[in-house]
Amino acid sequence: NAGVTQTPKFRILKIGQSMTLQCTQDMNHNYMYWYRQDPGMGLKLIYYSVGAGITDKGEVPNGYNVSRSTTEDFPLRLELAAPSQTSVYFCASRLGLAGGSQQYFGPGTRLTVT
Amino acid sequence: TQLLEQSPQFLSIQEGENLTVYCNSSSVFSSLQWYRQEPGEGPVLLVTVVTGGEVKKLKRLTFQFGDARKDSSLHITAAQPGDTGLYLCADFRMLNAGGTSYGKLTFGQGTILTVHP
């Protein structure tokens, strides 16, 4: 089991460029999440998915889009990158919603927009 | 909107010292979780507590949940360099959007712990 994998690990974008952050999990989890983590701040939820074909906005969705065509993959798309999107992005997945169930995080993608 | 405040924001200590970090919520926790995040990695779950007054131990780590379920502490005994990292508290709760249930984690800003050899 590789768990949750993310690519790329690092990326520098120019303002106005677009990119897709990839996330894959091999645990057959239904629930998947995208977070961003800014220095001195906790993780903020961008988008989530409860299963293939079902996605919804989290707390900070502006400037991002997602899709979930398979159980395994949950890519995050940035359109027209802005400096405010400079952050570390984490993808996560979980099997169920019981309070004690574990949420597994990927290693993150560090994105800089200049 | 629930706000989680963690203190201190930074902690730098020598190996062998004891320490305590705190997490306070603006509203009652549904299910409190503590995570540790090492540089360049994602957060990893340490413990989940749900009952007010609950105390859980994980080797040298002791987690305490306040009776009113609005605060928690993490105590580390005889800290080691391997304990270095960002410690995050989070509230996990089930929410419903458009008839679909999903689980949401709300995080505090974290305590950055550095343990020097």
Chain A partners within 8 Å of B40 (Cβ): 107-108
Q: Taking a C-beta distance cutoff of 8 angstroms, is the pair B43, B62 a contact?
A: no
**Rounded to 10 degrees, what is the CA torsion of A63, A69, A74, A77?**
-30
The answer, yes or no, to whether the previous bond of B8 is cis (omega within 30 of 0) is yes
Digitized pLDDT (tens) for each residue of chain A, 114 residues in all: 679 999 999 999 999 999 999 999 999 999 999 999 998 788 999 999 999 999 999 999 999 999 999 999 999 999 999 999 999 999 999 988 876 678 999 999 999 999
Q: What is the pLDDT of residue A99?
A: 62
> Å from B15 to nearest chain A CA?
24
Residue of A37, A89, A102 to mutate for B, most B C-beta atoms under 10 A: A37
pLDDT band at B83 (very low <50, low <70, confident <90, very high): very high
Q: Which of A48, A97, A99 sits opposite B48 (nearest CB)?
A: A99
The answer, yes or no, to whether the previous bond of A83 is cis (omega within 30 of 0) is no
Q: What is the pLDDT of residue B99?
A: 81
Q: What is the pLDDT of residue A100?
A: 65
pLDDT tens per residue, range B29-80 = 999 999 999 988 999 999 999 999 999 999 999 999 999 999 999 999 999 9
